[in-house]
Amino acid sequence: MKNYFGKNKRKSVDVPSATSPNRLGNQTGPSHIIEVIGVNKYFGEAHVLKDITFYIRNNEFITLLGPSGCGKSTTLRILAGFEQPDSGDVFFEGKTILNTPPHQRKLNTVFQRYALFPHLNVYDNVAFGLSIQRKLSRAEIRTRVEQALRQVNLEGYGKRWVDQLSGGQMQRVAIARALVLKPQILLLDEPLGALDLKMRKEMQIELKNMQRSLGITFVYVTHDQEEALTMSDTIIVMKEGVIQQIGRPTDIYNEPENAFVADFIGESNILPGRMTRDFEVEIAGHSFVCVDPRPGSDDVDVVIRPEDVRLEAPTENSISGVVSSVVFKGVHYEMLIETDQHEWLVQSTEKANEGSHVGLAFDPDEIHIMKKSEHSPDRQPTVPDGDAKFPEQSPEDDW
Amino acid sequence: MIARLSKNIYMILIFLFLYAPVAVLIVFSFNKARSRAVWGGFTLEWYRKLFQNSDILRALQVTLIIAVVSALISTVIATVTCIGLNALNRRLRNLIMNVTYIPNITPDLVTGVSLMLLFYFIGLKTGFATLLLAHIAFNIPYAILSISPKLRQLDRNLFEAALDLGCKPRQAIIRVILPEIMPGIVTALILTFTLSIDDFVISYFTAGNQVSTLAITIYSMARKSVNPQINALSTLMFLTVLVLLLLVNIRTTRDLRDKQNQGDLSK
């Protein structure tokens, strides 16, 4: 999956200047369906959202991504109207919606644990919103509900009870229940968190297709970086209530704003570097040509993705080390290379032998320079702990 | 072998001890002889007389009206209270719940006397109204205890989901929350109805001289003379309450089982 974004990425070529990494909400326009301006939120003492500002374009798939407790769910709940910000404003098509109660907002939510009504069968769950409106005849409701069930591949499930469904099916009912109201925006709060890996992958593709064919805006909350990269048009990376970066998946992956983003989005080697002039960086005592200008200070963070590192015979001018572990991952081998200062993570289809002495090589455009930040590492590279991630109870879940 | 035998004998003794009085009562309600000691043959005479006794019929009427009305009112109050409590933060909710428990462990005598004093104090003449008020008062905590677990089991997103789908808050409560906690509400109705029929002490202090419930009638009949109608009436009341309590028990165990099954699924 990572290779996808790793292969053809080249910063200078495919990053138009229009998508500046810090997309702020001050340029209003008809294409921005939602604008969140300077939102702060406190839960008691805890400052859970710190000056959140972003906009959402019409018809885009936007993902709020971050570890649990980063404020992504709270942001979504503010959009839905279940929480009020302590300061700041939220605009829907140019008008503030802070005084609009949830039931009058033109957006619908798919909840993390589905929140289906257990006393109703599938059909009545999906028909619920329409029957509240009392505008449609029974026949019209039937047509709309059946269409919605078709959209989520649950034709003929109308008479089933909610507790007779599998997790994936419940999730589909929850989506159908929201879609049947034809919302302009669908909010999804970690909707795939409770599903197993295979189901999750299938649903990711289905959701993306659904969003494209319906032509509506999806706002998606997840802590799973891979999910975010797969589905999103735009990703907002958050940490501890602060937006770290806003951008397209390729931007976020190839041009991480700081060490936190680089680390959170995929596996990476993050190293301290020194830059005394433009386009040249010193890493581990060796000098390398790179494509980035000097960011204003000598000390920088350098990101090199593991799939971008080539293993060669060691020379005097290369960083070299000993292969300390080799793990077969299917498409590639994942290897750890122990050097003097650092343990490098390398992914390659070519296997190196454990214990052998190798040199590390990488092209200038594969070296990404970041400004030093509070997230700068003082440590070994981190490997995300596989795919088995479950939603944890985050502080904002508890009320 | 001996251990098991003695265990069984012990069990039998306990049940004998618990149920022998009731068994004797039931048997003697069919006794032809007026005596409480001699078996004079089988008869339904006392039951027939019971339903011709205008005092008892009037008391039955009062008991049923009080039971139905107090069950309804206390359950409604408890339902509203529980929904409100559920929206509070945990500390305040626990505080109020604990205060709610206290009347459950207060002796009936204390409750009865204090209610009587309260009614005198505010100048309410004891009678049907005070009896009803007393029954509502002692029923509310039991109703709350039947309903609040149901609310706590509820996925807290359900209410928000209803709002999200276009319900006004009141609609969300009526269309989603009430149907979900209905089993608890029905249990509360049965339980409060049963407790109301069952109550003697509190009723005795709050009914005054004019109104009488079945329990009070039985008490005064038993004081006056030996009347086998008491046996018949007590038998009927015992069976009624027994059936109702069985219903409550079945409902709560079924609930518990459902909850366990759900727990298994979610794991």
Crossing angle between the packed helical segments B54-87 and B128-153, to the nearest 10 degrees: 40
Q: Which residue of B has its CA nearest to A187?
A: B164
Q: What is the mean pLDDT of residues B158-182?
A: 93
A19 pLDDT higher than 50: no
The residues with which B262 forms a beta bridge, in sequence order, are none
A31 pLDDT higher than 60: yes
Cβ of A192: how many Cβ atoms within 10 Å? 26
Q: How far is A133 from chain B (nearest CA, A)?
A: 7
Could you tell me the domains of chain B? 57-259 (1.10.3720.10)
> For testing the chain A interface, which of B164, B173, B177, B180 should be mutated: the one with the most A CBs within 10 Å?
B164
- Under the banding of pLDDT at 50, 70 and 90, the label for residue A25 is very low
B175 shares contact with chain A (CB less than 8 Å): yes
- Under the banding of pLDDT at 50, 70 and 90, the label for residue A380 is very low
Spatial separation of the C-alpha atoms in residues A399 and A394, rounded to whole Å: 11
Nearest to A366 by CA among A283, A295, A297, A298: A283
How much is the ipTM here?
A: 0.76
pLDDT tens string B112-144: 999 999 999 999 888 999 999 999 999 999 999
B14 shares contact with chain A (CB less than 8 Å): no
Q: Which residue of A has its CA nearest to B159?
A: A115
A364 pLDDT higher than 80: yes
How many domains does chain A fold into?
Answer: 2
Residue A380 included in any domain = no
List B residues 225-264 in contact with A (Cβ-Cβ < 8 A): 262
If asked whether residues A195 and A249 sit together in one domain, one would say yes
Residue A383 included in any domain = no
A395 pLDDT higher than 50: no
If asked whether residues A228 and A271 sit together in one domain, one would say no
- Under the banding of pLDDT at 50, 70 and 90, the label for residue B262 is low
Number of cross-chain residue pairs from A and B with Cβ atoms under 8 Å apart: 62
A21 pLDDT higher than 60: no
Token code pair at residue A93: 């098509």
Question: Which one of A112, A119, A129 has the shortest CB-CB distance to B165?
Answer: A129
Contacts of A116 in chain B (CB under 8 A): 161
What letter represents residue A201's amino acid?
K
* Mean of the per-residue pLDDT values of chain A: 84
Residue A186 included in any domain = yes
Q: What is the CATH number for A68? A: 3.40.50.300
Contacts of B166 in chain A (CB under 8 A): 103, 129, 132-133, 181
CB contact under 8 A, B160 and A181: no
If asked whether residues A282 and A241 sit together in one domain, one would say no
Q: What is the CATH number for A338? A: 2.40.50.140
CB contact under 8 A, A132 and B166: yes
If asked whether residues A276 and A231 sit together in one domain, one would say no
If asked whether residues A188 and A290 sit together in one domain, one would say no
Domain region containing A98: 2-254
Q: Which of these ranges, A66-80, A370-384, B86-100, B134-148, has the smallest mean pLDDT?
A: A370-384
- What secondary structure does DSSP assign to A263-309, as a single string? HHSS--EEEEEEEEETTEEEETTEEEE-SSPP-SSSEEEEEE-GGGP
Per residue in B146-170, is it b (16+ CB within 10 Å) or e — as a string? Answer: bbbbbbeebbebbbbbbbbbbbbee
Q: What is the mean pLDDT of residues A105-130?
A: 92
Q: State the pLDDT at residue A384.
A: 44
Residue A56 included in any domain = yes
Question: Which one of B155, B158, B165 has the shortest CB-CB distance to A132?
Answer: B165
Contacts of A334 (CB under 8 A, 6+ apart): A306, A326, A327, A328, A345, A346, A347, A383
Q: State the pLDDT at residue A17.
A: 36
Q: State the pLDDT at residue A98.
A: 94
Residue A377 included in any domain = no
Contacts of A129 in chain B (CB under 8 A): 165-166
B160 pLDDT higher than 90: yes
A6 pLDDT higher than 50: no
Q: How far is A139 from chain B (nearest CA, A)?
A: 20
- Under the banding of pLDDT at 50, 70 and 90, the label for residue A4 is very low
Q: Which residue has the higher pLDDT, B87 or A173?
A: A173
pLDDT tens string B66-119: 999 999 999 999 999 999 998 888 888 889 888 888 888 889 999 999 999 999
CB contact under 8 A, A181 and B165: yes
pLDDT tens string A186-220: 999 999 887 888 888 888 999 999 999 999 999 99
Q: Which residue of B has its CA nearest to A174?
A: B161
Radius of gyration (Cα) for chain B, nearest Å? Answer: 23
